[in-house]
């Protein structure tokens, strides 16, 4: 069984981050959360990481006003902690070209809908679920995809469906999808770990 070192990047609450950490602690997921990065210095993601003794860094336009310097700082944080796979969990910014190039084919993002529908720069948070409800969809879902230079357009690695129920509000739908995300990110990472899913850029070492 391969285990890999994860670098997790999150902007806000980090409930996916928390689910991944919990799965590594329980042994359900063979991975090592090695560093957490957030563009939001006050994010719950950073405090969750620190409370688990995972190295945690606030790296943003505030700490590094030049985009090139920020890209380099993020790359260095990931490389310094020997990260093999980068996991975006609610990261609200684009990654810079150096980081994208270094980790090409091994940066994952999770999106709360069935891409390519309901994706793109303006489609995040509640807006996704509002659009799904406004379109009268009976089914939505979760997509895990590789990260490229554009929002939500990289190759899809895994998808699962989530029902839209009669009487759903944005809140009830968002909660159902988020709960599914937690399990699905862990399941998908475990499939990468056991070789069921092979990432194009994966360099997962036997430990
Ligand atoms: C999730 O809905 C994810 O799909 C999206 O951002 C949200 C992050 O939630 N990319 P959390 O911070 O993990 O709770």
Sign of CA dihedral 6, 7, 9, 14: positive
With a 6 Å cutoff on the Cβ, whether 119 touches ligand 1 is no
Give pLDDT, residue 201.
76
Containing structural domain, residue 133: 2-199
Residue nearest to atom 5 of ligand 1 (CA): 90
- Average predicted confidence (pLDDT) for the chain: 94
- What's the angle, vertex CA 195, arms to CA 194 and CA 196, rounded to 5? 95
The CA R_g of the chain, rounded to the nearest whole Å, is 16
With a 6 Å cutoff on the Cβ, whether 154 touches ligand 1 is no
With a 6 Å cutoff on the Cβ, whether 112 touches ligand 1 is yes
Q: Does residue 149 surpass a pLDDT of 50?
A: yes
Residue 13 lies in a domain: yes
Domain at 122, CATH number: 3.40.50.170
> How much is the pTM?
0.94
Residue nearest to atom 6 of ligand 1 (CA): 90
Residue 94 lies in a domain: yes
74, β-bridge pairs: none
Dump pLDDT digits (tens) for 63-118.
999 999 999 999 999 999 999 999 999 998 999 999 999 999 999 999 999 999 99
Residue 117 lies in a domain: yes
Residue 207 lies in a domain: no
* 91 has catalytic annotation: no
Tell me which of 111, 129, 145, 182 is the catalytic residue.
111
Dump pLDDT digits (tens) for 28-41.
999 999 999 999 99
Residue 206 lies in a domain: no
Give pLDDT, residue 24.
97
Residue 10 lies in a domain: yes
Q: Ligand 1 centroid vs 85 CA: distance in angstroms?
A: 18
Residue 99 lies in a domain: yes
Residue 204 lies in a domain: no
Q: How many domains does the chain have?
A: 1
140, β-bridge pairs: 162
Residue nearest to atom 4 of ligand 1 (CA): 111
Mark residue 202 as left, alpha or beta (left: phi above 0; alpha: psi -120 to 50; beta: remaining): beta
End-to-end CA distance of the chain: 8
Give pLDDT, residue 207.
42
Residue nearest to atom 7 of ligand 1 (CA): 90
């Amino acid at each position: 069984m391969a285990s890999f070192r994860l670098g997790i990047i999150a902007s806000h609450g980090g409930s996916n981050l928390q689910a991944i950490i919990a799965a590594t602690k329980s042994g359900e997921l063979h991975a090592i959360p090695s560093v957490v990065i957030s563009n939001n210095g006050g994010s719950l993601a950073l405090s969750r990481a620190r409370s688990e003794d995972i190295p945690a860094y606030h790296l943003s336009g505030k700490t590094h006003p030049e985009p090139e310097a920020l890209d380099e700082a993020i790359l260095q944080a990931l490389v310094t902690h020997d990260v093999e796979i980068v996991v975006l969990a609610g990261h609200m910014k684009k990654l810079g070209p150096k980081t994208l190039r270094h980790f090409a084919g091994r940066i994952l993002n999770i999106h709360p809908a069935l891409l390519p529908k309901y994706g793109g720069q303006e489609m995040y948070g509640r807006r996704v679920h509002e659009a799904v409800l406004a379109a009268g969809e009976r089914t939505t879902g979760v997509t895990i995809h590789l990260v490229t230079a554009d929002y939500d357009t990289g190759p899809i690695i895994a998808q699962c469906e989530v029902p839209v129920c009669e009487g759903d509000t944005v809140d009830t739908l968002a909660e159902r999808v988020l709960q599914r995300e937690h399990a699905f990110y862990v399941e998908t990472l475990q499939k990468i770990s056991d070789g069921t899913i092979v990432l194009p850029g994966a360099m997962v070492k036997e430990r």
